[in-house]
Chain A
Amino acid sequence: MQTNQIFLLFCGILLLLGLVAFFLGRAKAARVRGAGISMYAQPDQYAWFTVLATAGPALVVSGVGAFLMLLLGAQIPTTYLLVGSLAIAAGGLAIGVLQIRPDFHARQAIERVIRLLLAGAALISIFTTFGILFSIIFEAIRFFQKESLWEFITGTTWSPGASFLEAAGRAEEGGSGGQFGSIPLFAGTLMITCIAMLVAIPIGLMSSIYMSEFAPHSVRNIAKPMLEILAGIPTVVYGFFAAITVAPVIVDVAGMLGLDAAYNNAVAPGIVMGIMIIPFISSLSDDVINSVPDSMRQGALALGMTNGETIKYVVLPAALPGIISASLLAVSRALGETMIVVMAAGMRPNLTANPLEDMTTVTVSIVAALTGDQEFESSATLSAFALGLALFVVTLTLNIVSVVMIRRFREKYRINDL
């Protein structure tokens, strides 16, 4: 591996130069100070400055060079790059040593470099968001160039199956091309999300009411971390649980009631997803209920309300915006949840209102589109990005609405909380 060797050589020489820079810089600074001249910074700080002057520019140049070569396909011989960046390192070393003068603020220079580095790190999170946004939008646009946007929004048939023939230039053989009407997928997602919320919101909210208003400290200290365990279980485990344990139970129960249920019905993943979301709702509403000021409870009790009435007519209405915001966040999590539905829900797009039938979701379709052996350019594969875009927009909207609501809630009670 030649690139590996060159990389190692580069690192080795740079390390060596860095060491030389450190000791040269410190020696020179110590000499100057030893001569009785007062300096702006400590010898060690001059030494570190020299190291930064040596390594920084060289790393930047080699990084840019590698970027140009790998991504833009520029033809730069690696040896030139190696020699060039090492020469810059040597130059940096010389300049760094020359800079060691009594009136040079080495500490402030280091400070500036570090500040820049930290700000650069902070930018990466922004890049990630834009990376997600642009990669999805870019591929989604390619999808909508092939398929109609209108059909995607209003169509009721999702069958990407035949579209790979089109991509292979054999459209005639497969009969009709793929059909990309996303309504059945969103209907399935909505159905499973609704079932999950029916489980999660009452149980989560009631548990948090018990823990914050009734429970003694000892119970609270045990129950809270135990609920958190539910949140820490990997989703793939929940998926297995839903498919192997819960789904047969649902089928049996439905059979007893004289109903016909599919093994990959929507109820099993819905219930299990609800269990997964319970701690999410309970801990968020716990925070909210706890931040309702005690003066309000005391006022209500002083008027002769019972505990239950205080909770029902005073605490909960006050906490309502926070609870709604928690529920919205939970909905956004349920919409984007993947493994449970991949393992326990069906693969067949099915537009139905019967939760005992099998149905599929947006996330299942994304996974199905990207795990086959199909060509990346085909509409079937690209459809994953169109669905991803829709998912992104929906979850982002829900998050923003919920953040705004919770901020209003907090501002309202910051003044009252004396």
Chain B
Amino acid sequence: MSQSFDEITTQLKRRHRKSARLKWLSMASLGVALLFLIVFFADMLNKGLPAFQQAMVQVEVNYNEDAETMGRAALEPDIAPLVSRSFERLIPGMIRDNPDLLGTTETRWVLTNSDVDQYLKGHRNELSEDERAAIDERVENEQVEMKFNTTFFTHGDSKMAERAGIMAAAVGTIMTMLVTLAVAFPIGVMTAIYLEEFAPDNRFTQAIEININNLAAIPSILFGLLGLAVFINFFGVPRSSPMVGGLTLALMTLPVIIISTRAALRSVPDSIRQGAFAVGCSRWQVVRDHVLPLALPGIMTGSIIGLAQAMGETAPLIIVGMVAFIPDVSASFTQAATVLPAQVFTWAGEPERAFVEKTAGGILVLLAVLIFMNATAVLLRKKFERRW
């Protein structure tokens, strides 16, 4: 029983429609994935950008004798509840350090507390009607203004939202990354050189290779358990320190660096090695003088990407105790410190509305750093990549 041409044509049309449907469906799912990305960034910018603005109030500070013991006495009673308590606490110390201040008055811009800040940004706050009216009046007199939030970049953590900043976490991140880089980079590159250029193809080498691939897929939290059991409990590295955090992350970054370095070494053509061997170079001389310089851009790219990955990692650092409350910047490898993602985690747990903003602000800084690093890696690869 044969079909008429009409039937076959409709059948063909149906088949082509199906094919087109698959195309649109697959295009739509890519669109959905990219839409997620856009929604995510829009949401973070929307929540985080206000964190870079902070309400400031112009007050008259009257350094009287009462203020020597209780800072609040230096401020006029109507404005005092609006000023950040962190400033009030500073006043006695200022008088102690500089006794000449006593008896003088000074007009200066100081931080408001976070409720005023949130009120001006249109968020939920706990101000009374009178206080709101007082602020509105001062806004009109230009005695209350939104200014760029320098505190956020120059201070450590604080329980007062208006005073909390990312400086301590940023320094902690830098210290931790220094340890990670100092450990993971040489060991990773050396391992890759051994496996690519020196190792005979035997069971031992294969075991190392399989092992490295597995290591790359182990959940990061297990590296935290390793750090806790081996570095802290066995070797006695101080808990919460950039040292233990950096070592833990180094072990995690190691496979990334090894795999990318091997790829970079493999992309150097054999003719270069053969040429060097032909003029009598030893293996190490070939690697040092010819292969490594050519593979260096690839190695750098891989290392930067690995480092960026380590920089965003939080789970193993929680296990080794790097989610500490760190109000002061300390540049020591053995003292308690925190890192940017851990700071974000800590703030995310604070119940106040003002901290949501801080969290998103910290996230924006973290994302900016990570995107910068990845962009550098990509540019490095584009600029120096050679195709043979």
Contact = CB atoms under 8 A, between A and B. Distances in A.
Given A122-B190, A126-B208, A234-B312, A392 B370 contact: no
Contact of B214 (A232, A384, A400): A400
Interface string A361-393: 001001100110000100000001100100110
A214 to B, nearest CB: 5
Given A126-B207, A132-B223, A132-B225, A234 B187 contact: no
A210 B29 contact: yes
B194 to A, nearest CB: 4
Interface in B1-30: 15-16, 18-23, 25-30
Contact of A111 (B30, B254, B284): B284
A94 interface: no
Interface in A108-152: 108, 110-111, 114-115, 117-119, 121-126, 128-129, 131-132, 135-136, 138-139
B37 A226 contact: yes
B306 to A, nearest CB: 12
Residue among B22, B214, B283, B360 having the largest count of chain A Cβ atoms under 10 Å: B22
B208 A312 contact: no
Contacts of B193: 118
Contact of A122 (B194, B282, B311): B194
A333 B15 CA distance: 38
Interface stretch (A78-86, A157-165, A177-185, A301-309): A301-309
Interface string B182-218: 0000110011011100110000000110111111011
B67 interface: no
A226 B34 contact: yes
A131 B213 CA distance: 16
B282 A388 contact: no
Contact of B283 (A111, A136, A236, A239): A111
B219 A336 contact: yes
Contact of B26 (A129, A214, A229, A370): A214
A236 B208 contact: no
A136 B229 contact: yes
Residue among B219, B235, B359 having the largest count of chain A Cβ atoms under 10 Å: B219
Interface string B324-358: 00000000000000000110110010000000100
B220 interface: yes
Q: Is the interface of A mostly helix, strand, loop or mixed?
A: helix
B172 interface: no
Given A129-B215, A339-B315, A308 B225 contact: no
Contacts of A70: 235-236
B37 to A, nearest CB: 6
Contacts of A275: 33, 36, 40
Q: Is the interface of B mostly helix, strand, loop or mixed?
A: helix
A210 B230 contact: no
B367 interface: yes
Given A210-B26, A235-B314, A306-B19, A336 B47 contact: no
B366 A237 contact: yes
B225 A384 contact: yes
A232 B341 CA distance: 13
A241 B39 CA distance: 10
A282 interface: yes
A244 interface: yes
A53 interface: no
Contacts of A337: 219
Contact of B33 (A128, A131, A225, A227): A227
Nearest to A337: B219
B154 interface: no
B318 interface: yes
B375 to A, nearest CB: 10
A21 interface: no
Contact of A108 (B40, B194, B229, B282): B282
A119 B198 CA distance: 9
B222 interface: yes
B318 A203 contact: no
B363 A237 contact: yes
Nearest to A214: B23
18 contacts: A111-B283, A118-B198, A121-B186, A121-B190, A122-B195, A128-B215, A203-B29, A209-B26, A215-B30, A236-B314, A240-B348, A308-B18, A312-B22, A343-B348, A363-B219, A367-B221, A370-B224, A385-B225
Leading 6 A-B pairs by shortest Cβ distance: A336-B219, A234-B312, A308-B19, A135-B229, A121-B190, A206-B29
Given A118-B198, A206-B25, A308-B20, 18 more contacts: A121-B191, A122-B194, A125-B215, A125-B255, A126-B208, A129-B215, A207-B33, A215-B30, A235-B313, A240-B360, A243-B348, A275-B33, A308-B15, A329-B217, A332-B219, A399-B213, A399-B214, A403-B210
Interface of B: 15-16, 18-23, 25-30, 32-34, 36-37, 40, 43-44, 47, 186-187, 190-191, 193-195, 198-199, 207-208, 210-215, 217-226, 228-230, 233-236, 251, 254-255, 258, 282-284, 308-309, 311-315, 318-319, 323, 341-342, 344-345, 348, 356, 359-360, 363, 366-367, 370-371, 374, 378
